[in-house]
C-alpha cells in the first residue's frame, strides 16, 4: 500500500518549481491571479528572504506540491495521505476535500495569520534527546513562561514552541541534559502552541465561507493520528492544528498499522523521507519528483 506525504514550511528554496511540466504551470497561473502577485516568478527567482516569509512560503509550497501531485497521480494510486503542518492543507486539497482555488485563499490567510501573530515567541529544534527528557525539560521551563513540544518529528528530534524567554530557558536545560544541538528556527511566531489559539479562532471564522467535501483519500491527522474521512473532520483539523502539536512519529506508526509498504514524499526536497527513515525501517521511502 502506497501513502503520499506533503511537507511543511521550511522546504522552500529558490528554483523549487524548475522541473514543472507546462501543464502544471496552470496551477501557478491560477494562484497568481488569486494572490495578486506572480507566484511562479517568486518560486523561480526569489529572493529567498521573501520566499521564506510565512505569508509567501505557505502558498508557494502548497502550489508547488499540488503541481507535482497532479503529475504523480497520473501513474500511481495512493491509499492514504499525510502532511506535516502546512502539508495537511495540501493533503486536503490533493484529496479533493478543498477546491484548489479555495485552497489558495485558505493557505494565504493561514500564512498571514501565522505571520502576524500578536503573541511574540519562537520555535527551537532539540536534537539528541528522547521524548520523555524533552517533555521533562518543557515542564520545568513552564515555570518561566508558556512553552510546549510543538513537533514530534523523529525519536531524536523535537521542536519546542512558546514565549521566547521560556523557549530559551528550555534550550539551555536541553543543552545541560546532553542535547547534541539546539537550533532556533527562522519562523515568525510560536506555531503549534497555545499562543496561536487566537490565530486559530480567526482562521476558523475565515474558512466558514468555503465548501468542504469528504476527502477521496483518508488523511492521517497530525494531532491524534486518526483517519480523517469527513468534511467536518477536515475543517476541525485545519483549525486545531495551528495551535496543536504535530505528531509525525505517531503518524508514521499509524501508517504502518494500516499496512502501508511505501511512503512517497511529494514536493521539493526530502525532509519527511529523512525524518521517517529515523522512525522506521519498514517503509520504502521515495521522493517525488
84 is catalytic: no
85 is catalytic: yes
State the Cα–Cα distance between residues 217 and 228, nearest whole angstrom.
Answer: 9
- What is the sign of the dihedral through the CA atoms of 106, 111, 112 and 113? positive
Report in angstroms the alpha-carbon separations of 183 from 137, 160, 161, 170, 189.
Answer: 16, 10, 12, 12, 15
Return the C-alpha torsion angle 30, 5, 255, 227, nearest 10: -20
Active-site option among 85, 117, 221, 243: 85
Residue 191 and residue 150 in contact, taking contact as beta carbons nearer than 8 Å: yes
For 94, the grid coordinates are: 490533493
Cis peptide before 289 (omega within 30 of 0): yes
Residue 1 and residue 79 in contact, taking contact as beta carbons nearer than 8 Å: yes
Report in angstroms the alpha-carbon separations of 235 from 33, 43, 61, 137, 213.
Answer: 25, 28, 20, 33, 10
Bridge pairing between strands 262-266 and 246-247? unpaired
Coil/strand/helix, residue 157: strand
For 70, the grid coordinates are: 497532479
- Catalytic residues, by residue number, are 85, 192
Amino acid at each position: 500500500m502506497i501513502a503520499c506525504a506533503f511537507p511543511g514550511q521550511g522546504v522552500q528554496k529558490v528554483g523549487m518549481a524548475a522541473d514543472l511540466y507546462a501543464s502544471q504551470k496552470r496551477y501557478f497561473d491560477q494562484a497568481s491571479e488569486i494572490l495578486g502577485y506572480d507566484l511562479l516568478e517568486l518560486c523561480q527567482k526569489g529572493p529567498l528572504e521573501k520566499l521564506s516569509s510565512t505569508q509567501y512560503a505557505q502558498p508557494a509550497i502548497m502550489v508547488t506540491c499540488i503541481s507535482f501531485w497532479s503529475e504523480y497521480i497520473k501513474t500511481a494510486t495512493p491509499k492514504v495521505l499525510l502532511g506535516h503542518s502546512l502539508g495537511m492543507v495540501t493533503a486536503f486539497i490533493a484529496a479533493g476535500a478543498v477546491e484548489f482555488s479555495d485552497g489558495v485563499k485558505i493557505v494565504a490567510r493561514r500564512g498571514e495569520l501565522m505571520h502576524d501573530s500578536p503573541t511574540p515567541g519562537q520555535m527551537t529544534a532539540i536534537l539528541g534527546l528522547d521524548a520523555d527528557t524533552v517533555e521533562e525539560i518543557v515542564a520545568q521551563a513552564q515555570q518561566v513562561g508558556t512553552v510546549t513540544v510543538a513537533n514530534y518529528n523523529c525519536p531524536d528530534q523535537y521542536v519546542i514552541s512558546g514565549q521566547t524567554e521560556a523557549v530559551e530557558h528550555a534550550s539551555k536545560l536541553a543543552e545541560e541534559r546532553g542535547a547534541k544541538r539546539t537550533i532556533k528556527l527562522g519562523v515568525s511566531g510560536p506555531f503549534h502552541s497555545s499562543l496561536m489559539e487566537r490565530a486559530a479562532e480567526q482562521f476558523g471564522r475565515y474558512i466558514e465561507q468555503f465548501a468542504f467535501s469528504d476527502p477521496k483519500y483518508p488523511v492521517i491527522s497530525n494531532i491524534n493520528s486518526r483517519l480523517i474521512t469527513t468534511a467536518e473532520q477536515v475543517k476541525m483539523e485545519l483549525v486545531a492544528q495551528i495551535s496543536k502539536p504535530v505528531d509525525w512519529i505517531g503518524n508514521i506508526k499509524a501508517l504502518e498499522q494500516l499496512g502501508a509498504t511505501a511512503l512517497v514524499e511529494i514536493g521539493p526536497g526530502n525532509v519527511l523521507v529523512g525524518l521517517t527513515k529515523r522512525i522506521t525501517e519498514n517503509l520504502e521511502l521515495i521522493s517525488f519528483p
